[in-house]
Structure 1
Amino acid sequence: MFDTVLVANRGEIAVRVIRTLRSLGVRSVAVFSDADADARHVREADTAVRIGPPAAAESYLSVERLLEAAARTGAQAVHPGYGFLAENAGFARACEEAGLVFIGPPADAIALMGDKIRAKETVRAAGVPVVPGSSGSGLSDAELADAAREIGVPVLLKPSAGGGGKGMRLVRDTGDLADEIAAARREARASFGDDTLLVERWIDRPRHIEIQVLADGHGNVVHLGERECSLQRRHQKIIEEAPSVLLDEATRASMGEAAVQAARSCGYRGAGTVEFIVPGSDPSQYYFMEMNTRLQVEHPVTELVTGLDLVEWQLRVAAGERLGFAQEDVRLIGHAVEARICAEDPARGFLPSGGTVLLLNEPQGDGVRTDSGLSEGTEVGSLYDPMLSKVIAHGPDRETALRRLRAALAETVTLGVQTNAGFLRRLLAHPAVVAGELDTGLVERVVDALVSTDVPEEVYEAAAAVRLEALRPSGEGWTDPFSVPSGWRLGGTPKAPAFPLRVQDPVTYSPRGTHAVTAGRVAVTLDGVRHTFHRCGDWIGRDGDAWHVRDHDPVAASLSRAAHAGADSLTAPMPGTVTVVKVAVGDEVTAGQSLLVVEAMKMEHVISAPHAGTVAELDVTPGATVAMDQVLAVIAPKEAAQ
């Protein structure tokens, strides 16, 4: 076993790897950008090395700086985690040339399976069924469009070099092909540095099922069962579970053997995942999609049902050990479900969010595990992936695991940063999810019923209670009776004070219930029902949901409206970076015309003109960093301009 391992990653996966290194008595080396100088993974490692400024290209994606950090700390091996350089064949080769062990598969296997086009050809030759689609690499836009028309819409555009849903586009109308191909290339280039695309037939209402494989350097390959990953948004997984309720033992064995053959076909070593798309109506008709040559985000559900530590086995295999078990020794015990907690706002169309973690509670124990890179004070910005943590529950059966996970999500508190925890809790209670009737389009079909933009009255009641408590005298010395917020009026009926508040739209609210305000908590009783919230600063939360309740200044708002009378201010829907500016001040625009593109956490958002008119103000340039709700441009209506 190694003495020292450098973890070439950040966030929850770095913390996760460090945990196993500590259990094995292996010294851990963390790396960090300036944005992560006080991050949890830095504090938990045995030592840490600064590798550059916040931009990933100059820090976590810099092979040179990572190798320098390994040399400075005497590391013998590098664990890449997932994301960043985890599936970069050049990085794996560079580690080998520097005398370091890359804790992952051989560079040639990464390169082969990282090219989705070559991967499909390779596994097809090994007898593994593949999804019908385009053939050949380096297809032009016209060739991609021709292939899509030949296959027949709907089709899926996919980056050849990528994964995680980045750059994937579902096209149902051939008239949209040109725009969607351009957008897919742009996202692929930004995420992977390679804009090569392929096109595949889209299977309606498919299920996404993947097989975990483990291979050593002595010719032994086993599979550890499957994971159901069909609950997705924007082609990105949000809930995963093991095993899948769809598969019977015969299909599980057949898919497992196909995954083993896929791993053998590329000379695989270490932990990897073979992903299949499966028609829900006939699970025996499964198709290979891709192989992820790394540890998966959802690996904990496999660990909980098999009892194996996959990171430990990655280390043991990389150190040259043989697998300590055969296929017949693998047993799946109970059921496990994982929920990905992401920095995104369900009420704003799941746009990325950011901020400082002010109050944090992450459940552990009693069949519940949380893998997280968070701590109170963590700054969540727009530079990196939006996933913050994962909550995983295990039970003797699926019903128990689901119930435990819903309860754990209700206990999850991340005040200061908007997350999807409450949405995931409601999703896990949806009848189709409870029944196991899943497909990759289910979330999009039911999302509106699970997200509400209405703010419950008790939220305003709790916020007003906190403000009311702040107005009360301390009780020391003389108290001016006119300063007590009792609602008393000279010669009139007592009236509760009114507070101008804002969550989304401004509201002037007068508390009408009873309250109990303590440090970190506020309880209000309305109409005989008691509601208890966590609180910190202007944030309150319960059951995984959170609200940022700010004081509203009606005078300032009125002045702002007067300044832009008849015009529309276009604001940033999320904290991020302006990547494209297509107009200048004075340009005439049409309704719906694309004006700017804001990118955050590897996601693009197009800012369009709300109506025909003229660009009256333009406050940003390409490369500018913007905050949520920051004014980007002002569009004067055509009539006003005239």
Structure 2
Amino acid sequence: MNSPSSASSEVTWTDRLGPVLVANRGEIARRVIRTLKTLGIPSVAVYSDADAAAPHVHEADQAVRIGPAAASASYLDIDAVMRAVEVIGARAVHPGYGFLSENVAFARACRAAGVAFIGPGERALDVMADKIRAKEHVADHGVPTVPGFSAAGMSYAEIARAADDAGYPLLIKPSAGGGGKGMQVVRSAADLSEALETARRVARAAFGDDTLLLERLIEAPRHIEVQVLADAHGTVIHLGERECTLQRRHQKVIEEAPSDVVDSRTRERLGAAACAAAASVDYLGAGTVEFLVAGDRPDEFFFIEMNTRLQVEHPVTELVTGVDLVEQQLRIAAGLPLELTQEGIRLDGHAIEARVYAESPERGFLPATGDVVRWGAPRRARADSAIESGSTITADYDPMIAKVIAWGEDRPSALAHLDDALAETVVLGVDTNIAFLRSLLAEPAVQAAEVDTGFIDRLPPFTAPEPRMQVLAQVVAVAPPVEPFGAPVGAGRLGASALWAAGSGWRAGGPPQEREFSVLLDDGTVRTVAVPGADASRAADAGFELVAGEDGVWVHVDGTAHHLVPLTRRQAMERRLAARERATAASAPELMAPMPGAVVAVHVDDGAAVDAGARIVTIEAMKMEHPVTAPHGGIVRLEIAVGEQVSRDQVIAHVLADDDAVIANREEEPR
């Protein structure tokens, strides 16, 4: 009998590291699990009640429930995650990004439990978690920074004087935060007070710390970041830069590598500054150092912050360098020295990533929720997704549901490949920004790489392309309109034969007549379409993807998704009359929630008099705040309170004209 070979009994670094618990959800949890599987390391998923059926749960080797849907009671609950670590016997924790990934208390809890935290040490987390401290720290190590000041411990009068001294415009940033949350641009002293209040409220809610940093706003800036890797043996290298300038409200939308405006000399200087920032805190693992680059002087850059974790946009770096960043994180956490060298890093071609959000660009990019009835990934590009067919999008978490990443030999080809990939990406059942992304990529300034961080915010309101008439005809053929009480057209008519009830357009002695139907489009407009009297369902276009449901038809065609509702003549007439009345009448007194979410602030008292445009309520959904303002002047009657959950289009307040308010008060008086 042969004895086992020494190779088969050898304990490898992967054996020592696993099982690895992934303390996250969505596409980043699936991304980490994918590399763990490739390396043969057992993976453990955690999930909230909202994610019990999520893809990352069934893709992991094991899964543990950690709490209810609210992130504060599940993915942000250190004790809950650590209990899962103990139950499973995990040897390491990968935090992904967001949630607890940059939480020093979580890293400390892992160390106390004897579990490897796949991320930097506590010193790096502590220093870089505070923007003010981080800025002062890296400045002492030769990294250029933006002029500004900390508002910690300062009174409003002191902040106002310091702001005057620094000069407007200023950017207010929560010191403890990231992802653009709470950032406010202040262009004059008159706007300072309200901006400070908003920034502090968001900072407290999102990060538990309302300390603020005010710094000089660099006009027309570009956002450039550098990917670094550092091991426990003193080696720090960079993997080039990423261009993240295309943002909306400080939230990145399109990212690419390398940047079109960074030459080799500037790349070398950026990389050196990023490595110096990482080395200054004895960094360990993968991290990103972010810089602002002056629009008119791309060779001039300033440190913004260091993200002590993997970034959402890491795939573009992977595609141009050929390096699996998650694998490098795992190897470094296992104590291995970097096998990569700075001289060996080469940038091959160009990669561009688009973030797919569950949101409605036509409604001002408000978050969207619902069931995904159909998901289809592009065939010739990388897609990191949080969803699959049957997934449910709730208001509990970030609205990003997927990332589509394309590579090309140069930037123009990468842009073209990304557009093709987005056209192939199918999401039916919930609104997304895919049509907007394709429109954005087609902008001449984007094609020419002549953009700054405010470019998207300056674009006109987005209007989705209308589907072709052939598509509308196919929709009504597949899902005929129904009467308001739910019976199909022609059904249940007393004395009518089945032929009459069919509504096919058949007639004696001649060809079937065309029938006219109306269809409600995504933007609320109504279109009339003529449908052939013959069985039009046989003429289905092979390029269509149709899913009919109780609330209409979802269709993917021409690279765009639409939600269409076939209408009867009566329904179409009612909608047209209502639209005409709205166009000629004053705005309605009802103030409705634009999306589902939680009421985080009520800015006026019940019965208060307000002017048009006054902020009435602020609703938080998918980690973003959305103010709801008065459509006209009047007296406010509140229907909600702080802390309440509201649904989309729920009436949250009334803004009554003076006469209406008097009548309402009389009706409320006891008789």
Q: Is residue 468 of structure 1 aligned with residue 506 of structure 2?
A: no
Unaligned runs of 5+ in 2: 1-13, 483-487, 663-671
In the alignment, which of 391, 396, 402 is matched to residue 409 of structure 2?
396
Q: CA deviation at 1:632?
A: 1.9
Give the alignment of 1:364-513 within 5 angstroms.
364=379, 366=380, 368-448=381-461, 451-452=462-463, 455-456=466-467, 458=469, 460-468=472-480, 480-487=498-505, 494=513, 496-499=515-518, 501=520, 503-505=522-524, 507=526, 509-512=528-531
| Whole-Å separation in 1 of the counterparts to 2:48 and 2:358 | 20
SS at match of 1:400: helix
Give the alignment of 1:243-262 within 5 angstroms.
243-262=258-277
- Relative distance call for 1:301 and 1:513 in structure 2 (3 A) is farther
Q: CA deviation at 1:274?
A: 0.5
- What is the identity, as a one-letter code, of the residue corresponding to 1:393? A
| Whole-Å separation in 1 of the counterparts to 2:527 and 2:294 | 52
> What is the aligned partner in structure 2 of residue 9 from structure 1?
24
Unaligned runs of 5+ in 1: 525-530
- Relative distance call for 1:186 and 1:542 in structure 2 (3 A) is farther
> What is the aligned partner in structure 2 of residue 626 from structure 1?
646
Q: Contact 1:93–1:107 at 8 Å: present in 2 too?
A: yes
Instruction: Provide the aligned length of Structure 1 versus Structure 2.
Output: 626
- Relative distance call for 1:472 and 1:568 in structure 2 (3 A) is closer
Q: CA deviation at 1:517?
A: 7.1
> What is the aligned partner in structure 2 of residue 604 from structure 1?
625
| Whole-Å separation in 1 of the counterparts to 2:654 and 2:586 | 11
Q: Is residue 346 of structure 1 aligned with residue 361 of structure 2?
A: yes
Q: Is residue 579 of structure 1 aligned with residue 600 of structure 2?
A: yes
1:399-450 superposed Cα distances (whole Å, 9 cap, x missing partner): 21111100000011111111111111121121111112221122222354xx
- What is the identity, as a one-letter code, of the residue corresponding to 1:23? T
Q: Is residue 315 of structure 1 aligned with residue 335 of structure 2?
A: no
- Relative distance call for 1:276 and 1:587 in structure 2 (3 A) is closer
549-558 or 47-56: which moved more? 549-558
Q: Is residue 637 of structure 1 aligned with residue 669 of structure 2?
A: no
Q: CA deviation at 1:191?
A: 1.4
CA RMSD of aligned residues (A): 3.0
| Whole-Å separation in 2 of the counterparts to 1:344 and 1:556 | 28
Q: Contact 2:227–2:289 at 8 Å: present in 1 too?
A: yes
Q: CA deviation at 1:453?
A: 5.8
1:243-290 superposed Cα distances (whole Å, 9 cap, x missing partner): 111111111111101111010111111000011100122122111111
| Whole-Å separation in 1 of the counterparts to 2:437 and 2:423 | 10
SS at match of 1:147: helix
Q: Contact 2:587–2:632 at 8 Å: present in 1 too?
A: no
Q: Contact 1:306–1:331 at 8 Å: present in 2 too?
A: yes
> What is the aligned partner in structure 1 of residue 8 from structure 2?
none
| Whole-Å separation in 1 of the counterparts to 2:244 and 2:622 | 22
Q: CA deviation at 1:614?
A: 3.2
In the alignment, which of 290, 309, 326 is matched to residue 341 of structure 2?
326
1:178-201 superposed Cα distances (whole Å, 9 cap, x missing partner): 111111111111211111110111
Q: Which structure's CA Rg is the greater one?
A: 2
- What is the identity, as a one-letter code, of the residue corresponding to 1:593? A
Q: CA deviation at 1:620?
A: 2.8
Q: Is residue 570 of structure 1 aligned with residue 594 of structure 2?
A: no
Q: CA deviation at 1:586?
A: 4.8
- What is the identity, as a one-letter code, of the residue corresponding to 2:268? A
| Whole-Å separation in 1 of the counterparts to 2:516 and 2:413 | 47
- What is the identity, as a one-letter code, of the residue corresponding to 1:380? I
- Relative distance call for 1:565 and 1:211 in structure 2 (3 A) is closer
Q: Contact 1:411–1:544 at 8 Å: present in 2 too?
A: yes
Q: Contact 2:477–2:531 at 8 Å: present in 1 too?
A: no
Q: Contact 2:475–2:566 at 8 Å: present in 1 too?
A: no
| Whole-Å separation in 2 of the counterparts to 1:337 and 1:589 | 46
Q: CA deviation at 1:457?
A: 5.7
| Whole-Å separation in 1 of the counterparts to 2:303 and 2:330 | 27
Q: Contact 1:500–1:508 at 8 Å: present in 2 too?
A: yes
- What is the identity, as a one-letter code, of the residue corresponding to 1:636? L
| Whole-Å separation in 2 of the counterparts to 1:500 and 1:639 | 39
SS at match of 1:393: strand
> What is the aligned partner in structure 2 of residue 528 from structure 1?
none
| Whole-Å separation in 1 of the counterparts to 2:337 and 2:186 | 46
Q: CA deviation at 1:382?
A: 1.0
> What is the aligned partner in structure 1 of residue 665 from structure 2?
none
- Relative distance call for 1:361 and 1:453 in structure 2 (3 A) is closer
Q: Contact 1:117–1:136 at 8 Å: present in 2 too?
A: no
Give the alignment of 1:91-240 within 5 angstroms.
91-135=106-150, 137-240=152-255
Q: Contact 1:117–1:137 at 8 Å: present in 2 too?
A: no
- What is the identity, as a one-letter code, of the residue corresponding to 1:225? G
Between the aligned residues of both structures, percent identity stands at: 52
Give the alignment of 1:506-585 within 5 angstroms.
507=526, 509-512=528-531, 523=541, 532=544, 534-537=546-549, 538=552, 539-550=554-565, 553=571, 567-583=588-604
- Relative distance call for 1:438 and 1:500 in structure 2 (3 A) is closer
171-180 or 591-600: which moved more? 591-600
- Relative distance call for 1:204 and 1:584 in structure 2 (3 A) is closer
| Whole-Å separation in 1 of the counterparts to 2:77 and 2:417 | 41
Q: Contact 1:422–1:543 at 8 Å: present in 2 too?
A: no
- Relative distance call for 1:100 and 1:548 in structure 2 (3 A) is same
- Relative distance call for 1:404 and 1:513 in structure 2 (3 A) is farther
| Whole-Å separation in 2 of the counterparts to 1:227 and 1:242 | 5
Q: CA deviation at 1:540?
A: 2.1
1:578-635 superposed Cα distances (whole Å, 9 cap, x missing partner): 222345665544333322211101111122222233345x443322222222222233
1:517-552 superposed Cα distances (whole Å, 9 cap, x missing partner): 779x9549xxxxxx8454443222335533322366
> What is the aligned partner in structure 2 of residue 527 from structure 1?
none
1:552-575 superposed Cα distances (whole Å, 9 cap, x missing partner): 65799899999x998422111112
- What is the identity, as a one-letter code, of the residue corresponding to 2:479? R
| Whole-Å separation in 2 of the counterparts to 1:447 and 1:559 | 27
- Relative distance call for 1:335 and 1:101 in structure 2 (3 A) is same
Q: Contact 1:613–1:639 at 8 Å: present in 2 too?
A: no
- Relative distance call for 1:176 and 1:29 in structure 2 (3 A) is same
- Relative distance call for 1:394 and 1:63 in structure 2 (3 A) is same
SS at match of 1:327: coil
| Whole-Å separation in 2 of the counterparts to 1:513 and 1:446 | 40
> What is the aligned partner in structure 2 of residue 304 from structure 1?
319
- What is the identity, as a one-letter code, of the residue corresponding to 1:41? H
